[in-house]
Amino acid sequence: MNQLIRYPVNDCYTCVQGEGVQTGVAMVLLRLHGCAVGCPWCDTKETWLMDPDHEVATLAEALGANPRYTHLTADEIVAHIRDHNAGPRWVLVTGGEPAQYDLAPLVAALQEAGYRVAIETSGTEVGHLQAGFDWVCVSPKLNMPGGKEVRLETLTQAHEIKHVVGRSQDITDLEELLAAAQPPATTQICLQPVSTSPKATELCLETVMARGWRLSIQTHKYIGVK
Ligand code: SF4
């Protein structure tokens, strides 16, 4: 196993996937630190900056919603998950923006330990493309303040494209992106109302019914889990 790569881990806990196609599946959520995309409505802004003052020596010190992180090898991550998160058979790698790192050693170690591995990425980085993930969800972040471009090749290799919608222009932007990328017909397209807004929910409902797409609701916000 490749012990050279040490991943910046911000958080790790057992949860139930609240969004998208895998809603309701018990998962270990592994949150890697660092993101330069800059979405204004981001739920995890504490993960954005790699501030050396917030690097800590152990994962126990990093756990929780805070800007602290620690560097771990793939094997150390697997050992922690085995010891502390015994139930789920899925691990969801998220962030931050996890695809900025070479994720192949991490995926291999988790799969070797018997886990299936999913990722959620903004589509602005490609570190996951050859990593062998069992499920890839791209939530394309377009025209964000960080100035990062969505890479079309991330969409053609996605099982799920989950787009956050606040206004009709967001749907137009997605349609243009899909026309440019031409993802396979098996890729599931989900629309997710931004911040569970009622107006955005109505727009998403109308659109998924018109296009034969899928609605993604942030169910974890309704049932009180993070
Ligand atoms: S890509 Fe994800 S972590 Fe990064 S700013 Fe956007 S929502 Fe937040």
What does the pLDDT look like over 57-115, one tens digit per residue? Answer: 999 999 999 999 999 999 999 999 999 998 999 999 999 999 999 999 999 999 999 99
Find the 55 Cα to ligand 1 centroid distance in Å.
20
Ligand 1 pocket residues where CB is under 6 Å: 35, 37-39, 42, 44, 47, 95-97, 122, 141
Find the 100 Cα to ligand 1 centroid distance in Å.
12
Beta bridge partners of 214: 190
| Stretch 122-139: mean pLDDT | 97
| Best residue for ligand 1 mutational test, from 44, 139, 192 (most atoms within 8 Å of Cβ) | 44
User: DSSP letter at 151?
Assistant: P
Instruction: Give residue-wise pLDDT tens across range 5-44.
Output: 999 999 999 999 999 999 999 999 999 999 999 999 898 9
pLDDT score recorded for residue 41? 87
pLDDT score recorded for residue 2? 55
Closest CA to 98 of 139, 143, 59: 139
Instruction: Give residue-wise pLDDT tens across range 133-165.
Output: 999 999 999 999 999 999 999 999 999 999 999
pLDDT score recorded for residue 219? 82
Burial class (CB in 10 A: 0-12, 13-18, 19+), 98: buried
Asked if residue 102 lies in contact with residue 127, where contact means CB atoms within 8 angstroms, the answer is yes
Cα Rg of the chain, angstroms: 17
Tell me the C-alpha distance between 78 and 111, whole Å: 10
Tokens of 199: 């107006």
pLDDT score recorded for residue 46? 97
- Please give the model's pTM, rounded to 2 decimal places: 0.94
Q: Is the pLDDT of residue 224 over 80?
A: no
User: DSSP letter at 93?
Assistant: E
pLDDT score recorded for residue 119? 98
SS3 164: strand
pLDDT band at residue 3 using 50, 70 and 90 as cut-offs: low
Find the 42 Cα to ligand 1 centroid distance in Å.
5
Tell me the C-alpha distance between 65 and 182, whole Å: 37
Tell me the C-alpha distance between 31 and 146, whole Å: 20
pLDDT score recorded for residue 55? 98
Q: What strands, in cross-sheet order, belong to the sheet with 116-121?
A: 70-72, 7-16, 26-32, 90-94, 116-121, 135-138, 160-165, 188-193, 214-215
